[in-house]
């Protein structure tokens, strides 16, 4: 129960931040062009119900009860509220419909731009705070080849150089470049070799694992782990005498000792302790990992300059948008299974985790900000991208799109968005099968 509340709280906080910033972008752009904003709401006040609100000037500010988004109600605009009362009068100077197409376009793109800026700034803060990164040149041949990596032709002793014929400073940028296939460039016996990576790579896992330390984030109450003495913040060093250098090693040993027991050597506040813990029939003992930290005895991290941190923040932000855009296209064309790759609020909450880790929270919030920007730029009526398309059409043809077309498009867009929400929620709860 508590785990679920922690995950839900993180998701709601992230959504509050993202929606507030997104709607602020629309609000400020509208006010810049002297357009009246009737409402500014974080979350939806469906049925007219809200947690609280107050009015200042012409605008009502508030928080709705349904945490699925938010909105600004811009005067003289056909939006999701389908308020058409203003259509009975001539356009007023303070209405959206009286503005020039390029002004309408800026107002519609304001939320998207603000989400991009937010994502970039959070990634910049993360990189600046960390001030270190794992360089590709530091990896060399110090890694584990996964079964998938072996299938693709990666061999013991291969020295990693880069990907797709390019060199990269950071290991994470190289991996991101391979998300949808290409070649992993290695040196083998003094020669450069290109290991092929198929286009479906991002759904199949990694070619290699890095040496890492395993830190316990949560011990399940009443579990074998708790009874055996495992505690939060313990660092797993070895199991049954075998040094643990990656999480999969730990899992494999537990799997091999179902209905038995294991001796786990942990580092607890600088002191080593050995624990004997029973393993159940599923190969579980009852714990959650808090984080994987690079083994500093194997890797040293490079210190980054502020210029590099700016570049890293840009790469982090737009690589998220690029990967999601490409994944979305692959889902549309049937090359990727939507049920396996679309995540709704439940799955996203689980990604935040049952332990409140601020580093993970901000990294995921930054990623969600970029994803929100991408989703809103899609040319779907009812989304910002759809409104932007109509502004561009008006700009090109020299006259506004008819209200009837706008109304019809808004209804179609509403059902598209609602259908997508039903799908991702049903998918979260496993209602559509495998």
Summarize pLDDT for 194-207 with one digit per residue, the tens: 999 987 666 667 88
Q: Compute the C-alpha angle 316/317/322, nearest 5°.
A: 95
Of all residues in the chain, the percent with pLDDT exceeding 90 is 52
User: Going from the N-terminus, what domains does the chain have, and what CATH number goes with each?
Assistant: 2-128+366-428 (no CATH), 134-208+299-303 (2.30.42.10), 212-292 (2.30.42.10)
Quote the pLDDT of residue 332: 80
Q: Which residues pair with 56 in a beta bridge?
A: 59
Which has more pLDDT, 357 or 317? Answer: 317
- The alpha-carbon radius of gyration of the chain (Å, integer) is 26
Q: How far is CA 285 from CA 55, 121, 220, in A?
A: 54, 40, 9
Q: At what angle do helices 358-377 and 345-352 cross, to 10 degrees?
A: 150
Which has more pLDDT, 85 or 11? Answer: 11
The confidence band for 299, taking pLDDT boundaries of 50, 70 and 90, is confident
Quote the pLDDT of residue 85: 66
Residue pair 94/46 in contact (Cβ under 8 Å)? The answer is no
The confidence band for 108, taking pLDDT boundaries of 50, 70 and 90, is very high
Region 52-70 average pLDDT: 89
Quote the pLDDT of residue 70: 83
The confidence band for 328, taking pLDDT boundaries of 50, 70 and 90, is confident
Q: Which residues pair with 197 in a beta bridge?
A: 182
DSSP label of 170: B
Which has more pLDDT, 389 or 77? Answer: 389
Residue carrying structure tokens 């090693």: 249
Contacts of 383 (CB under 8 A, 6+ apart): 375, 376, 413, 417
The confidence band for 303, taking pLDDT boundaries of 50, 70 and 90, is very high
Contacts of 289 (CB under 8 A, 6+ apart): 214, 215, 216, 217, 247
Quote the pLDDT of residue 430: 66
Quote the pLDDT of residue 1: 63
The confidence band for 80, taking pLDDT boundaries of 50, 70 and 90, is low
Region 342-369 average pLDDT: 84
Residue 431 has pLDDT above 60, yes or no: no
pLDDT, tens digit, for every residue of 208-250?
888 888 888 888 888 999 999 999 889 999 999 999 888 888 9
Residue pair 307/138 in contact (Cβ under 8 Å)? The answer is no
Region 178-202 average pLDDT: 88
Region 58-80 average pLDDT: 85
As to burial, measured by CB atoms within 10 angstroms (0-12 exposed, 13-18 middle, 19+ buried), residue 284 is middle
């Amino acid at each position: 129960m508590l785990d679920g509340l922690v995950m839900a709280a993180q998701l709601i906080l992230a959504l509050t931040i993202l929606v507030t910033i997104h709607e602020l972008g629309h609000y400020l752009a509208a006010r810049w062009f002297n357009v009246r904003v009737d409402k500014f709401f974080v979350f939806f006040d469906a049925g007219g119900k809200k947690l609280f609100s107050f009015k200042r000037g012409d605008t009502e500010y508030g928080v709705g009860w349904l945490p699925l988004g938010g909105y600004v109600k811009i005067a003289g605009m056909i939006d999701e509220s389908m308020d058409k009362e203003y259509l009975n009068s001539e356009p007023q100077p303070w209405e959206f419909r009286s503005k020039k197409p390029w002004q309408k376009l800026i107002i519609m793109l304001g939320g998207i731009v603000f989400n991009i800026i937010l994502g970039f700034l959070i990634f910049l803060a993360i990189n600046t705070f960390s001030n270190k990164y794992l360089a590709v040149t530091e990896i060399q041949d110090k890694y584990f080849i996964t079964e998938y990596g072996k299938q693709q032709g990666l061999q013991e002793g291969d020295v990693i150089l880069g990907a797709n014929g390019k060199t990269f400073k950071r290991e994470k940028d190289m991996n991101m470049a391979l998300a949808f296939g290409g070649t992993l460039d290695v040196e083998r016996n003094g020669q450069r070799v290109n290991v092929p990576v198929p286009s479906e790579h991002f759904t199949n896992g990694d070619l290699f694992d890095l040496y890492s330390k395993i830190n316990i984030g949560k011990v399940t109450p009443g579990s074998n782990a708790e009874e055996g003495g495992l505690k939060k913040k313990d660092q797993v060093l070895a199991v049954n005498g075998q040094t643990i250098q990656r999480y999969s090693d730990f899992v494999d040993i537990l799997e091999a000792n179902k209905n038995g027991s294991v001796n786990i050597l942990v580092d607890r506040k600088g002191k080593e302790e050995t624990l004997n813990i029973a393993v159940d029939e599923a190969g579980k003992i009852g714990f959650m990992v808090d984080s994987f930290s690079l083994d500093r005895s194997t890797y040293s991290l490079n210190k980054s300059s502020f210029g590099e941190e700016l570049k890293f923040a840009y790469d982090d932000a737009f690589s998220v948008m690029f990967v999601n855009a490409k994944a979305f296209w692959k889902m549309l064309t049937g090359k990727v299974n939507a049920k396996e790759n679309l995540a709704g609020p439940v799955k996203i909450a689980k990604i935040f985790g049952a332990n409140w880790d601020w580093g993970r929270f901000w990294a995921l919030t930054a990623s969600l900000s970029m994803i929100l920007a991408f989703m809103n730029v899609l040319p779907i009526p009812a989304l910002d991208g759809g409104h932007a398309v109509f502004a561009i059409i008006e700009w090109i043809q020299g006259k506004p799109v008819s209200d009837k077309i706008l109304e019809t498009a808004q209804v179609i867009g509403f059902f598209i968005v609602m259908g997508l929400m039903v799908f991702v929620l049903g998918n979260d709860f496993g209602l559509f099968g495998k």
